[in-house]
Amino acid sequence: MHVSVIGSGYVGATLTGCLAALGHEVTAIDIDESVVASIEAGEPPMAEPRLGELYDENADRISATTDYAAVRETDCSFITVQTPAREDGSIDPSVVLAAAESLGEALAQKETFHTVAVKSTAIPGMVEEEVVPRIEQAAGPEGETFATAVNPEFQAQGSAVDDFMHPDKLVLGTDDDRALDTLRSVYDPLPDEPPVVETGRREAAMMKYANNVFLAAKVSLINELGNICKEYGVDSYEVAEAMGLDDRIGAQFLRSGVGWGGSCFPKDTDALRAAARDRDYEPELLDAVVGVNETQPRRLLDLLDRHVGVTDERVAVLGLAFKPDTDDIRGSRAKPVIAGLQERGADVAAYDPSDASETMAREYPDVEYTDSASAALDGAVGAVVVTDWPEFGELDAEFDAMARQVVVDGRRIVEAREGMTYEGLTW
């Protein structure tokens, strides 16, 4: 099938490579010319493991353009543009709506039926009530020449290709049989036969939020347990391992520490809280989930304070990306950590193995960004670990360069060694 992908960020660019690998012809459409140029040159526009190989292997099936007219050559468009948060946490639909309008204008001159699958995370009702009318403005009524589906994406950054190829489930939310058939065909070549949830658009939209807030809540719960464990001298990782043996709990997302970040958990928990309030429901548990997450970076710095004064002293921050195997700093816990250190008057030296330093430098220019962990540690009176990059687990003699070997580990990754004052955040 020939499909178009509208928006080539983390989701869209991954979708482009993966759908091409499944044998589809894919046209990526983005308003950012540099993104289009990168895809046209055969390079994914952002860092994601294994994606470059897919672009190489399937170059003949991938093209990119800024011109929406290209959708007319395709049977199905996936909308994968961003759904940013407003000040109050609610979803700002303006980017999706602009894309929908451009799509509608292009579809107005298309003869054959078109499926529009919305992958951008959207509050229940947004697609039917806001996106569809924008497409209809030029393309005419839904159901005649086009139909929409809500097809949320569950891939995680750093493992997006694998997650796409081997999903735990597919959610296909639509009332239109033609759109449903199209989506079934798109995913049919997936190597395993994942469970397929065929449902309505509102339900599909809620399933995406439900998934993310459940996982965020699971991490916040293990973080709260971890904080209590720490007070009682109990190793929360041992406790979590035992908890994970219970199938009803499951072993994943029980790593306690400095909290969850990324482009999705913070935005999606806030959006669902705002959506609940919009209907006069107070989401008390979700408020607490966010509250615990805000506490963790503060606790990390409180632990550092217990061992060393950092005013006018060098402190190393190890890790800037919100998780390993990505260069994305959206929602990264490194931000409140850096801000807290700077409030204390510390000289912050930071290191991340990815290109995350470049983007972080725009938000936090008064930080020394180093090109190795040892350079960041050199002369520091303390180090805080924010991201669980495997290479931090290999650090050893590098700590000798510190003025004082105080390490507060927010991710249970550093190996404590002789002469080091080591504090785990939740163990």
Ligand X SMILES: O=c1ccn([C@@H]2O[C@H](COP(=O)(O)OP(=O)(O)O[C@H]3O[C@H](CO)[C@@H](O)[C@H](O)[C@H]3O)[C@@H](O)[C@H]2O)c(=O)[nH]1
- Closest-approach residue to ligand X (CB): 264
Candidates 12, 331, 382, 410: give the one binding ligand NAD (CB under 6 A). Answer: 12
Candidates 77, 157, 269, 359: give the one binding ligand NAD (CB under 6 A). Answer: 157
Regarding 261 and contact with ligand X (CB under 6 A), the answer is: yes
CB 270 within 8 A of CB 293: no
Strands ordered across the beta sheet of 421-424: 368-369, 347-351, 314-318, 382-385, 406-409, 421-424
Regarding 83 and contact with ligand X (CB under 6 A), the answer is: no
Distance (Å, rounded) from C-alpha 347 to C-alpha 342? 7
Candidates 3, 4, 5, 7: give the one binding ligand NAD (CB under 6 A). Answer: 7
Distance (Å, rounded) from C-alpha 194 to C-alpha 196? 6
Candidates 16, 27, 38, 80: give the one binding ligand NAD (CB under 6 A). Answer: 80
Distance (Å, rounded) from C-alpha 76 to C-alpha 79? 10
Which residues inside 264-293 make contact with ligand NAD, applying CB under 6 A?
264
Active site residue 264: yes
Distance (Å, rounded) from C-alpha 275 to C-alpha 133? 21
- When CB distances are held under 5 to 8 angstroms depending on the partner's kind, the choice from ligand X, ligand NAD, none that residue 11 binds is ligand NAD
Q: Which phi and psi angles does 124 have, rounded to 5°?
A: -50, 130
- When CB distances are held under 5 to 8 angstroms depending on the partner's kind, the choice from ligand X, ligand NAD, none that residue 113 binds is none
Please tell me which residue in 18, 76, 229, 264 is annotated as part of the active site: 264
Distance (Å, rounded) from C-alpha 117 to C-alpha 130? 14
Candidates 64, 123, 254, 271: give the one binding ligand X (CB under 6 A). Answer: 254
Give DSSP secondary structure letters for 184-247.
Answer: HHHHTT-SS---EEEE-HHHHHHHHHHHHHHHHHHHHHHHHHHHHHHHTT--HHHHHHHHHTST
Candidates 121, 148, 387, 426: give the one binding ligand NAD (CB under 6 A). Answer: 121
What the block records as the tokens of 376 is 């960041």
Regarding 6 and contact with ligand NAD (CB under 6 A), the answer is: yes
> Shortest gap between Cβ of 53 and ligand NAD (angstroms)?
19
Closest by alpha carbon to 272, among 289, 258, 286, 291? 286
Which residues inside 316-375 make contact with ligand NAD, applying CB under 6 A?
none
Strands (E), 74-123: 76-79, 114-118
> Quick one: the chain helix, strand, coil %, rounded to 5?
45, 15, 40
- When CB distances are held under 5 to 8 angstroms depending on the partner's kind, the choice from ligand NAD, ligand X, none that residue 293 binds is none
Q: Applying CB under 6 A, which residues contact ligand NAD?
A: 6-12, 29-32, 35, 80-83, 95, 98-99, 102, 119-121, 153, 155, 157, 263-264
- Please enumerate, by residue number, every residue annotated as part of a binding site for substrate: 208, 253-257, 261, 323
Binding-site residue ranges: 30, 83, 121, 208, 253-257, 261, 267, 323, 330
Active site residues: 264
Give the residues lining the site for ligand X (CB under 6 A).
Answer: 153-157, 212, 215, 219, 253-255, 257, 260-262, 264-265, 322-323
